[in-house]
Amino acid sequence: MTDHLSDPLDLGPCCACGRHDDTVRNIALLDRRAPVPGTGWGCLSCGLPPNGALALLCDECLSQNRPLIFAVRGFLADRQRILLSELRDPYLHDEAKHALALAENPGLFAPNQIPAAWWDTTTWPHHLN
């Protein structure tokens, strides 16, 4: 049996610079609809299905805050990209549902109020607005 956890990470090229190595490991959740339904991010709090577009960045592009050129097309493991400019449909949280959830559960965070410490690139994907 192969131990896939020890395999090198290969998610395809960086969506900013095109680099294709094991530093391409930072996932960005975009505010646009994914080109392939069901292959992106979703939100359990407001009921969004997993149709939000994703992008992958290498460590250097993330640290330099380089602009995205591409987004992921399909599942991350497919390693396909699409020009970001081709994704025109917005994909946003339902703020009314989040406001209701916050009113009912004051300890929750709104999507734009998540503590900065949670955005550690080694452990958590990024949410770009």
Q: How far apart are CA 80 and CA 98, in angstroms?
A: 32
List, as own/partner pairs, every contact residues 99-102 make where C-beta atoms lie below 8 angstroms and the sequence separation is at least 24, other chains included. Answer: 101/45, 101/46
CA distance 122 to 62: 12
Q: Which helix (H) or strand (E) holds 104?
A: helix 95-104
Burial class (CB in 10 A: 0-12, 13-18, 19+), 9: exposed
The more confidently predicted of residues 111 and 1 is: 111
Amino acid found at 44: L
Rounded-to-integer distance, Cα 127 and Cα 112, Å = 9
Is the Cβ–Cβ distance between 36 and 71 less than 8 Å?
no
- pLDDT per position as a tens digit, 81-103: 999 999 999 999 888 887 787 77
Tell me the CA distances in angstroms from 101 to 31, 34, 108, one per residue in order.
Answer: 21, 26, 8
Position 69 confidence tier, pLDDT thresholds 50, 70, 90? very high
**Residue 33 scores a pLDDT above 90:** yes
How would you label 51-78 residue by residue, b for 16+ Cβ within 10 Å and e otherwise? Answer: bbbbbbbbbebbeeeeebebbbbbeeee
